[in-house]
Amino acid sequence: MGVYESLGLTPVINATGTVTRLGGAPMPPTVLDAYRDAADEWVPLDRLQAAACKMISQVTGAEAGIVTAGAAAGLTLGAAAILAGMDLGTMERLPRTDGIADEFIVAREHRNGYDHAVRAAGARFVEVGFNEVTAGAGVRRVEAWEYEAAISDRTAGILYVYLENSAPPLEQVVDVAHRHALPVLVDAAGELPPRSNLLLASMTGADLVSFSGGKAIRGPQSTGVLCGRRDLIASAALQMLDMDDHFDLWEPPTALFDVEKLSGIPRHGIGRTMKVSKEEIVALMTALALFARSGYADELPAQRDRLTRIMDSLRGTDVELRLRDPADHESSPLLEIVVGDRHHVSALDVCRNLRQGKPPIYVGHHKLHEGILVINPLCLSDERADLVGDRMREELS
């Protein structure tokens, strides 16, 4: 019996990719081996994070970096670092922000459920721009001058949610922010691949960038990478690490901390709730090295082959099939199955029936409103792909 069966659970077939709700990405065997090896011995976590810092800065070109408990945790830590800097008293008080600048400027069109992560540190949002395009009421997206017009002495920083087509371009927002000596915190959680986005901080000058470790990097689901300015990373690390030591005994690793800037040792900070284990740190570093080297590109032909098998199963049904090979040659290919409204069942029905079948199958549901089911092959094996094909043919015949 498998571990999940012994808990009374039925494992599902994940045909939707690295989504958190189903447990994220498959960890490569090398990553799992590293996790197990890391469990055999003990190291001070601040030194392990300092080793991660060196490696992350090599891979990202940023001054510094730490392993976080996910991209969302990285946003909380990043906001806490921007709010407190190296001020131990403010670290102690967060999320209370009495007497300090605590506003983060954010475009209305960038707001999403993850901004909870930023507010959790004590930040308050000031929105700029409109959602005119979505509202069908205009043609313009948010513009750089709108950020500038919102800056006041209460402004602590800017939050920017990065997508390939985010407006305005990140460089313009960084330019506005830096003219006013303000930092920019970037959520780029799911924007890998392309691998080149690892360089976002160094290429755009953004002060902090947060990535997920459990999506395309394929580290543990509960990890992430926060990289950027050295002083802000030091603050984030201080507010996350366990601080139960004596200042006279503690030897702060110099890769992470400018020792002369430390006037004492803070107590556990707001990020202590987001601790990362030694096993997770080592596993994430292993996965990051693999991702940075190849982006797992050698697996793409097998993934495409799985989609072809599913397409073969669906020949003879009257659904339209669209194989999407991503332009970046790095992301997984996707199969769109257009159920549309000319069918006896809707895409939503098929999606539900697949989940309720044996074994349960989860397909991509982000285009249901267009009548489209999306298959992502990243978490499929050949056998599972065949099961997906068979079950879908049943549903669509």
Ligand X SMILES: *Cc1c(COP(=O)(O)O)cnc(C)c1O
Site for ligand X, rule CB under 6 A: 20, 70-72, 114, 161, 187, 189-190, 212, 214, 224
Q: Which residues contact 126 (CB under 8 A, 6 or more apart)?
A: 103, 104, 105, 106, 150, 155
Find the shortest distance in angstroms from Cβ 73 to ligand X. Answer: 6
Question: How far apart, in whole angstroms, are the C-alpha atoms of residue 345 and residue 255?
Answer: 59
Give the phi and the psi of residue 254 in degrees, each rounded to 5: -70, -20
Instruction: State the DSSP code for 341.
Output: S
For 17-170, where are the E strands, in sequence order? 64-68, 103-107, 124-128, 155-161
User: CB of 18: closest distance to ligand X in angstroms?
Assistant: 9
For residue 109, the minimal CB distance to ligand X (Å) is 13
Question: Smallest distance from the beta carbon of 214 to ligand X, in angstroms?
Answer: 6
By beta-carbon proximity to ligand X, the closer residue of 67 and 347 is 67
Nearest residue (CB) to ligand X, 212 versus 331 = 212
| Residue 263, token pair as written in the block | 């006037």
Q: Could you tell me the smallest distance in angstroms from the CB atom of residue 344 to ligand X? A: 35
What does the block give as tokens for 229? 């300015």
- Supply the minimum distance, in Å, between the C-beta of residue 111 and ligand X: 11
Max alpha carbon distance in the chain (Å)? 75
What percentage of the chain's residues is helix, strand, coil (to nearest 5)? 45, 15, 40
* Pick 34 or 192: Cβ nearer ligand X: 192
Residue whose CB is less far from ligand X, 214 or 333: 214
Residue nearest to ligand X (CB): 70
Residue type, 384: R
**Smaller CB distance to ligand X: residue 183 or 214?**
214
71 vs 240 by CB, closer to ligand X: 71
Closest distance between ligand X and the C-beta of residue 303, in Å?
21
Instruction: Measure Cα distances from 282 to 25, 39, 277 in Å.
Output: 17, 10, 9
Query: Given the complex with ligand X, which of 189 and 237 has the nearer CB atom?
Result: 189
> For residues 173 and 339, which CB has a smaller minimum distance to ligand X in the complex?
173
Q: Note whether 304 and 310 are within 8 A (CB).
A: no
Q: CB of 379: closest distance to ligand X in angstroms?
A: 15
Contact 24, 30 (CB under 8 A): no
Alpha-carbon span 6 to 137, nearest angstrom? 54
| Least separation in angstroms between CB 76 and ligand X | 10
Q: Closest CB to ligand X among 71 and 198?
A: 71
Which residues are 16's β-sheet partners?
376
Q: Kind and range of the H or E element at 310?
A: helix 300-314
Residue where the block lists tokens 């409109």: 130
Instruction: For residue 188, count other CB atoms closer than 10 A to its CB.
Output: 25
Residues for the chain: how many in total? 397
